């Protein structure tokens, strides 16, 4: 073949990670940091250079563009999505990408901070990378493979498709989003304007992993209400909400149902904040379960424990508030099995053995599923995200790029009449 798939993906990737696009929690603005738009503007320029004339960045920082169909067949419009921001947990300022060629199985000591070591013993994924070329930061910052590898792969796939017009495809919509890492990635995303029928986020680990399941997630706020009284004259009158909350927390299961005691398919309830005083003490939870019924069961058991607590204390009370966070995307994806099946086919065509994965968390795709856009998550190659020992291999980024190209072909082919 004339043009190799993913030829310039590493170059692109290293260009993008030099842009500091760290998002921020508790920001008043959208996007949460203005600097994310700098990468957005670069991407608009590059998309236009590729011939995607309608490439644009809007007031929220969403970059969108269209690769027009080159087939007369009726093919559903497919979306490709990656996020531009990096985690607020680790600095993304002055990222210096470093290529470790021909990985030979050693521990990798990062040059800018030799305390940062990627150890083979702690990172089994490294065993798959013998002979490959790995990219890391210098150890003083994160790398930003999450999710600039996804951005680079989508750009590179578009580059290939525009140079190879004989590859038939339907309309492809592209979106690069801000603020994913602060849970706001699709806050202002206009699904109907985007115009895709199905989409894929490129924001996972190994390219063979197809993520089609997330938790069902809610947050629960329980407010215990006591009665305040001068402690000198409080006998038989004061009811201490601090103690109510503590009594309640003691009732929680000790060896099960928490993040620190569960894995795989198990759900949990997780008290993460407690604040207040005599009159009012608030306990905040996140609740997670892969099944909707399981989620509701966990919430009801929290309510029952709170009821049990106040029952023993006349004049005490509590309020109980549930807020929906996101739902398991599988409920939506199962109604459109071709979305995941086509990704599996595309992975096999790239010589990979696809594995379905569930995420003990959420994705922007999970939200998009419930906004009317079924969107599983595909592997972009990122390992050790949100850390100074983050890495990605060039070969994985090439595979992921190839997978995207295959996916586009599969959709055009599956709809051949
Ligand atoms: Zn990500």
For ligand 1, the distance from its centroid to the CA atom of residue 147, given in whole angstroms, is 5
For ligand 1, the distance from its centroid to the CA atom of residue 217, given in whole angstroms, is 18
Q: At what angle do helices 241-250 and 292-311 cross, to 10 degrees?
A: 130
Segment 98-152, tens digit of pLDDT? 999 999 999 999 999 999 999 999 999 999 999 999 999 999 999 999 999 999 9
What pLDDT does residue 416 have? 56
How high is the mean pLDDT of the chain?
96
Beta bridge partners of 209: 355
User: Exposed e or buried b for every residue in 192-222, given b needs 16+ CB within 10 A?
Assistant: eebebbbbbbbbbbbbbbbbbbbbbbbebeb
Check 20, 46, 85, 153 and give the catalytic one. 85
For ligand 1, the distance from its centroid to the CA atom of residue 291, given in whole angstroms, is 24
Q: Are 401 and 5 in contact (CB under 8 A)?
A: yes
Q: Where are the alpha helices (DSSP H) in 281-389?
A: 292-311, 330-333, 337-349, 364-370
Q: Are 389 and 139 in contact (CB under 8 A)?
A: yes
For ligand 1, the distance from its centroid to the CA atom of residue 360, given in whole angstroms, is 14
For ligand 1, the distance from its centroid to the CA atom of residue 80, given in whole angstroms, is 14
Check 146, 156, 159, 180 and give the catalytic one. 180
For ligand 1, the distance from its centroid to the CA atom of residue 198, given in whole angstroms, is 19
What pLDDT does residue 415 have? 64
**In a 10 Å sphere around its CB, with 0-12 CB exposed, 13-18 middle and 19+ buried, how is residue 371 labelled?**
middle
Provide the residue count of the chain: 417
With CA atoms as reference, report the closest residue to 340 among 213, 212, 215.
212
Active-site residue 113, yes or no?
no
For ligand 1, the distance from its centroid to the CA atom of residue 248, given in whole angstroms, is 36
The mean per-residue pLDDT over the stretch 296-314 comes to 97
| Residue 414 predicted with pLDDT over 90 | no
For ligand 1, the distance from its centroid to the CA atom of residue 409, given in whole angstroms, is 25
What pLDDT does residue 2 have? 54
- pLDDT exceeding 70 applies to what percent of the chain? 99
For ligand 1, the distance from its centroid to the CA atom of residue 268, given in whole angstroms, is 23
What pLDDT does residue 417 have? 47
With CA atoms as reference, report the closest residue to 60 among 162, 219, 163, 193.
193
**Rounded-to-integer distance, Cα 164 and Cα 159, Å:** 9
Segment 367-382, tens digit of pLDDT? 999 999 999 999 999 9
Active-site residue 156, yes or no?
no
| Residue 45 predicted with pLDDT over 50 | yes
């Amino acid at each position: 073949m004339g043009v190799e798939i993913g030829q310039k993906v590493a170059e692109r990737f290293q260009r993008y990670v030099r842009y500091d696009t760290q998002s921020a929690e508790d920001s008043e603005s959208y996007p949460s940091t203005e600097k994310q738009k700098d990468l957005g503007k670069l991407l608009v320029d590059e998309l236009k250079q590729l011939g995607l004339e309608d490439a644009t960045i809007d007031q929220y920082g969403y970059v969108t563009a269209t690769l027009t169909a080159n087939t007369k067949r009726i093919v559903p419009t497919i979306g490709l999505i990656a996020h531009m921001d990096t985690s607020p947990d680790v600095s993304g300022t002055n990222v210096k990408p470093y290529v470790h060629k021909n990985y030979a199985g050693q521990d990798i000591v990062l040059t800018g901070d030799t305390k940062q070591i990627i150890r083979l013993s702690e990172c089994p994924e490294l065993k798959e990378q013998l002979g490959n070329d790995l990219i890391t930061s210098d150890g003083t910052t994160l790398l930003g493979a999450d999710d600039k590898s996804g951005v680079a792969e989508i750009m590179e796939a578009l580059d290939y498709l525009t140079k190879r017009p004989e590859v038939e495809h339907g309309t492809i919509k592209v979106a690069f989003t801000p603020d994913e890492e602060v849970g706001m990635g699709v806050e202002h995303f206009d699904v109907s304007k985007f115009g895709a029928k199905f989409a894929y986020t490129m924001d996972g680990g190994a390219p063979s992993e197809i993520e089609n399941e997330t938790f069902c997630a809610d947050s629960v706020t329980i407010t215990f209400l006591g009665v305040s009284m001068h402690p000198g004259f409080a006998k038989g009158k004061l009811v201490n909400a601090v103690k109510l909350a503590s009594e309640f927390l003691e009732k929680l299961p000790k060896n099960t149902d928490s993040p620190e005691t569960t894995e795989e398919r198990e759900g949990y309830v997780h008290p993460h904040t407690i604040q207040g005083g005599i009159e009012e003490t608030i306990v905040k939870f996140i609740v997670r379960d892969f099944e909707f019924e399981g989620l509701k069961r966990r919430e009801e058991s929290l309510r029952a424990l709170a009821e049990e607590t106040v029952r023993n204390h006349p004049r005490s009370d509590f309020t109980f508030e549930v807020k929906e966070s996101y739902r398991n995307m599988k409920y939506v994806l199962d109604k459109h099995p071709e979305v995941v099946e086509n990704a599996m086919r595309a992975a096999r065509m790239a010589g990979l053995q696809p594995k379905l994965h569930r995420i003990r968390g959420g994705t922007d795709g999970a939200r998009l599923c419930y906004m009317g856009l079924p969107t599983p998550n595909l592997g972009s190659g990122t390992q050790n995200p949100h850390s100074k020992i983050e890495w990605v291999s060039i070969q994985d980024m090439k595979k992921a790029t190839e997978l995207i190209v295959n996916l586009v072909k599969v959709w055009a082919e599956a709809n051949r009449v």
